[in-house]
Amino acid sequence: MPEGHSVHRIARQFDRNFVGHAVQASSPQGRFAEGAELLSGREMTQARAVGKQMFLEFEGDLWLRVHLGLYGAWDFAGEILVDPTIASANGRMGQTNQRGTDADAIHDVDGENSLTSIGAPRKARGHVRMSEQTTGLSDDDEWPPPVVGQVRLRLLTQNTCADLRGPTACVIQTPEEMLASVAKLGPDPLVGDVAEGEERFVATVQRKRTAIGLQLMDQAVVSGIGNVYRAEMLFRAGVNPHTPGKDLPEETIRALWRDWVQLLNIGVETGQMMTMDNLGPDEYRAAMAHRDDRHWVYHRAGLPCRVCGTNIALEELSARKLYWCPTCQR
């Protein structure tokens, strides 16, 4: 499932390429035909992400709420104005204590840091020209691009196309409905005041006996954390995932929030869920290129812990895979 960093990257792409433009909307698949008809021809006025959900505002007080779920993705084609806050494959913020330069570009083999296909299926399906300033499409580019596969919603401007595939939710909302949807979500470090978000997170975790491993996945407790970030954050904090939130020291809960602030920003900038520290140059390049080399415990069941050598445990917790080190996370 796409985690919070991916959705923030999508929102920033929409902000750069669609906001302020009249948008033609269609539903090639047919499952969102009525909604697309309502949106078509309207100017997009705002794009925002909260956790794993994205909200696009259109003139006339209409909002489009999209939740990618397990399989959803946005594919971009045409002329893409790159948001300057997103490094993509440049690796400027590849680990918490190491920054490179634009010359250090490292491409992830799975396309996880792509700006052209963001979400669960990460391989790009359309031709994209990226630039800091729009130069227009060449005469050789077919426009609009052909529809490939099952596209729930296509949004189109003069130069840029965005195709939505496989979302869990794609619905039109009134402003009141949008606010109600946001109100159900926990704090997001990139939305609102970070300090207020921390206090809200701490208070929620402390009053629940629910295991912290479950609380971090509860979008009403904190927004944007999925299976990967959950496993990595708990390892980095040395916290047993089964510990009730109410039993955790306050400083540990605050440390979890602050680590999420840091990791989310790294993920948004690089497009990668990079969670390892103190890597040498070769290790760093390998980690930025290969998903299995940039995590402490995630997807490493049965392999020795990178710190203590204990085999990483794998179990199911509320029907989701949980990876953790029984020694480092006592």
Structure pTM? Answer: 0.89
Give the helix/strand (H/E) hosting 273.
none
Q: What is the mean pLDDT of residues 261-268?
A: 95
SS3 134: coil
Residue 135: pLDDT above 70? no
The token pair that represents 156 in the structure block: 């189109």
Give yes or no on whether 4-181 and 186-324 have one common fold: no
Residue 218: pLDDT above 90? yes
Of residues 60, 20, 16, the one with CA closest to residue 44: 20
Residue identified by tokens 């975790």 is: 205
pLDDT computed for residue 125 by the predictor: 54
Number of H helices, E strands in the chain: 8, 12
Query: pLDDT tens digits, residue range 31-68?
Result: 999 999 999 999 999 999 999 999 999 999 999 999 99
* 105 — pLDDT class (breaks 50, 70, 90): low
Residue 99: pLDDT above 90? no
The CA distance from 173 to 180, in Å, is: 10
Query: pLDDT tens digits, residue range 195-206?
Result: 999 999 999 999
Where in 103-181 does DSSP place strands (E)?
Answer: 117-119, 128-131, 153-156, 160-165, 169-173
Query: pLDDT tens digits, residue range 310-321?
Result: 999 999 998 899
What is the architecture, at CATH level 2, of domain 4-181?
A: Alpha-Beta Barrel (3.20)
Of residues 265, 257, 310, 316, the one with CA closest to residue 93: 265
Range with the lowest mean pLDDT among 80-94, 107-121, 281-295? Answer: 80-94
Give residue limits of the domains in the chain: 4-181, 186-324
Q: What is the mean pLDDT of residues 278-302?
A: 90
Q: What is the mean pLDDT of residues 220-238?
A: 97
Q: Cα-atom radius of gyration of the chain, to the nearest Å? A: 20
The CA distance from 228 to 205, in Å, is: 20
pLDDT computed for residue 101 by the predictor: 36
SS3 83: coil
Residue 279: pLDDT above 90? no
Residue 215: pLDDT above 80? yes
State percent of the chain over pLDDT 90. 72
What fold, for 186-324?
Helicase, Ruva Protein; domain 3 (1.10.8)
pLDDT computed for residue 111 by the predictor: 67
Of residues 27, 65, 1, the one with CA closest to residue 225: 1
pLDDT computed for residue 171 by the predictor: 98
Q: What does pLDDT average to over the chain?
A: 89
